[in-house]
Amino acid sequence: MPTTTRKQHIEEFIATHLPTYQELALDIHQHPEVSNYEFYSSDVLIRQLEKEGFSVKKDVAGHRTGFDARFTAGKPGPVIVFLAEFDALAGIGHACGHNLFGTYSVLAASALKDLIADFGGEIRVYGTPGEEGGENGSAKGSFVRDGFFADVDAALCVHPAYHYGKTTASLANDPVDIKFYGRASHAAGAPEKGISALEALLQVSNGINGLRLYLPKDVNIHGIITDGGLAANVIPEYAAGRFYLRAKNRSTLNEVYQKVENVVKAAALATGARYEFGLFQNSVDDVIVTPSFDELFFNHLAQLNIPTEEIETEIRTSLGSSDVGNVSQVVPTIQPTVSISDDYIAGHSEEFKAAAKSEKGLASIAIAAQLLAQTALDLFEQPELLAKIKGDHKTSLAKGN
């Protein structure tokens, strides 16, 4: 089958099935679920993948709402993964557009599946819960750790946004809980009998503030007190805080993690409190950008009738974090963006939530799926191109972001 015929198949498949996937995106939008509780959203995508002929395993990589869907050509060839997110934000719902994100990947994989018989190989869709964090969050880290990418050649996904843009470099993130255990006593009558867990936590906060002066400029530490006691006249026997430790790359962040733990140890020693310190979910790695992979995606974007003012050509660096970074550390990975709004919208806002179910948001499903499927098709059709991208990824990985 000629390349032009394959591309026509992708376009026709997407046009035919688009109304179904738009309904799925709206359905997920109307049922927002947070990390580890995306049962409804996960099942919506799983049922559609099974209808499309994928074999699906549920409850994978230690995540009860995670899934692994596969369609194989029955002979050796490239293994390409589409990443699917479907979690919402607590309180505000789908204000990051993951109701669209998951449908982008499932439709792209489905449009491509009947074309790989000529090349061999396998198409997979990994349903990765909790990108926004939370209970057992940042599932891509678990997928990487459990070997789901050991035989994978490349990974693709698209995120909804204000503008079309290339994969964004982002920061590594260690989300940590800090807990102190002291001894309660009357704060006025017998303060010498108590050990203040809150005082230990306050010393940690002050210690981190002092530490900031001696850290690289790309390091960002922020946190909150989640439990500071119940009564002002009782010395708190328990106190807890939650902090995000971020840095431009994993190696720097590992050093920061150790420095912060030393601050915690010092506070425990100074106050006599006992401490617990560690991750409350998966750590997140920095995103490794492979420019040639993004260029491949953008070559297809250039063939669409997209207004130039909607397209950002510069590679940006985000001060946030995404567990797509964990995947990018082991295989070439792209996460470009497609536009879902004509006016500026900030992520995690009511405006973004509205755009994720808007006419333009729903129309973006066809655009994103077509660009993803055509980019993946290039990797199947051109082994030398896939080899080059894998080589470029190794170069980017050696440099760091």
pLDDT on residue 400: 80
pTM: 0.94
| DSSP per residue, 268-319 | HHHH--EEEEEESS--BPPP---HHHHHHHHHHHTTS---GGGB--SPPB-S
Which pLDDT score is estimated for 313? 78
- Cα gap 112→376, rounded to integer Å: 8
CB of 239 within 8 A of CB of 200? yes
Geometric angle at alpha carbon 249, from 202 and 349, rounded to 5° = 70
CA 41 to CA 200: how far, in whole Å?
41
Confidence of residue 179 (pLDDT cuts 50, 70, 90): very high
Q: Residue 4: pLDDT above 90?
A: no
Report phi then psi at 188, rounded to 5: -105, -40
Instruction: Summarize pLDDT for 85-136 with one digit per residue, the tens.
Output: 999 999 999 999 999 999 999 999 999 999 999 999 999 999 999 999 999 9
Do the Cβ atoms of 75 and 120 come closer than 8 Å?
Answer: yes
* Both tokens assigned to 196: 């203040």
Whole-angstrom distance, CA of residue 32 vs CA of residue 280: 22
Residue type, 56: V
- How far apart are the C-alpha atoms of 202 and 359, rounded to whole Å? 49
Residue type present at position 127: G
Q: Does residue 316 register a pLDDT over 80?
A: no
Structural element, H or E, at residue 58: strand 55-60
Residue with tokens 């919402």: 88
What is the DSSP-derived secondary structure letter of residue 14?
H
Cβ 153 vs Cβ 268: under 8 Å? no
Convert the pLDDT of each residue in 193-248 to its tens digit.
999 999 999 999 999 999 999 999 999 999 999 999 999 999 999 999 999 999 99
41-59 pLDDT tens trace: 999 999 999 999 999 999 9
Query: 319 pLDDT exceeds 90?
Result: no
Residue 318 contacts by C-beta under 8 Å, 6 or more apart in sequence? 168, 169, 170, 171
CB contact at 8 A, 370 and 14: yes
Work out the pLDDT band at 401, boundaries 50, 70, 90.
low
Is residue 173 within 8 A of residue 283, CB to CB? The reply is: yes
pLDDT greater than 70 at residue 278: yes
Q: What is the mean pLDDT of the chain?
A: 96
b/e 321-352 (16+ beta carbons within 10 angstroms → b): bbbbbbbbbbbbbbbbbbbbbeeebebeeebb
* CB crowding 4-39: b at 16 or more within 10 Å, else e: eebbebbbebbeebbeebbebbbebbebbbbbbbbe
Quickly list DSSP for 168-213: PB--EEEEEEEEEE-B--BTTT-GGG-B-HHHHHHHHHHHHHHHGG
pLDDT per position as a tens digit, 90-100: 999 999 999 99
Q: Which of 123, 160, 146 is nearest to 66 (CA)?
A: 146
